[in-house]
Amino acid sequence: MSKLRAIIGYTLAALAVPLVLAVFMGQSFWMKELVAATGVKVSPWLTGGDVIRTISHDEYQISIHEQVFQGLLSEKKEGLVQVDWKPAKNLPDRIDEDIDYDGDGKNDFHIALDTKSNQAYVQSLQTGVIGLEKSYVLKDGQAVRVRIKNPRK
């Protein structure tokens, strides 16, 4: 029995080297397999969520992201919605826009954004909108995140 344990021990120890080599040689393969098997993506709280609608203006376009309410076990009572304006070089000095983020045909909030100073002001037009969370400068544009109430909670 002790000889069998020793043989197994040495075998597993020796297998550490091929394991390490397999990790490095097949890293890009294993990476894709890991993502495909787990189905994970980066948290929408950090990315703003997937873009669900784009609106094109003459020189720039607006991207409206999905509403984010994700919690650990269930949806949160409050969340956010992110709106982007791109590209940076074509943005006017000031943006005044009504945004309908849920696609129900009614404008949900009015945004006034100074693209030079990155100052933003949000005026709620529906009861589900709480207010501005923050405005951001993107790599090629600008974005605002607006706090909203979860209609399902």
Partner 1 sequence: MQGFLLGLASGTVCLAYCAPVLIPFILGEGKGIGRNYSLLARFLAGRLIGYLLFGLLAWAAGRLLIKNSIHQEIIFGLAYIILAVMMFYYGLSRPPEICAGKLMQKSGSRFLQRWPELLPVALGLATGLNLCPPFLLAFTGAADSASLVQSLLFFLAFFLGTSVYFLPMPLLGVFRRVAPLQTVGRMASVLMSLYYVYTGIIMLGGGIIGS
Partner 2 sequence: MSVLEPEVNITPQKSRIPRAVFLTLPVLLLSGLMIFQGSIPKMGPDLIAKSITFLIFNVVFFLMMYTGKTYKYRATLFTIIAVCFSIGFISNLIAIRGSMAIDEAHMLAGETPFCHLVIPVILIPAALTRTIIFPGSLLTGFASIAGMMVLWLGATLALGRGWCSWVCFFGGFDEGFSRLRKKALIKKIDPRWNYLPWAVLIVIVLLSALLLTPVYCEWLCPFKTVTEFTKITSFKTLVQTVIFISLFLGLVVVLPLLTRRRIQCGLFCPFAAFQSIFNKINIFDIRVDQEKCKYCRKCVNECPTFSLNEECVKEGRALMSCTKCGKCVDDCPRGAVTYHIKGTPVKLQSDTARVLFLYPAYIFMTAIGGSMVVDALAKLIKLATTGSMI
DSSP classification of residue 106: S
**Contact range with partner 2 by CB under 8 A, out of 24-32, 95-103, 105-113, 122-130:** 24-32
**Contact range with partner 1 by CB under 8 A, out of 11-19, 70-78, 97-105, 126-134:** 70-78
Longest dimension (CA), the chain: 80
Q: Per CB under 8 A, which of residues 64..103 are in contact with partner 2?
A: 70-73
119 touches partner 2 by CB under 8 A: no
Query: Which residues are within 8 A (CB) of 25 and not within 5 positions of it... i.e. 6 or more apart?
Result: none
131 touches partner 1 by CB under 8 A: no
Cβ proximity to partner 2: between 36 and 104 the closer is 36
Which of partner 2, partner 1, none has residue 70 at its interface (CB below 5 to 8 Å by kind)?
partner 2
What Å distances lie between residue 54 and 60, 63, 85, 132, CA to CA?
10, 4, 10, 20
In whole angstroms, what is the distance from residue 13 CA to residue 6 CA?
10
Which of partner 2, partner 1, none has residue 107 at its interface (CB below 5 to 8 Å by kind)?
none
73 touches partner 1 by CB under 8 A: yes
In whole angstroms, what is the distance from residue 134 CA to residue 43 CA?
18
Cβ proximity to partner 1: between 40 and 72 the closer is 72
The token pair that represents 134 in the structure block: 């923050």
Q: Which residues contact partner 1 by CB under 8 A?
A: 71-73
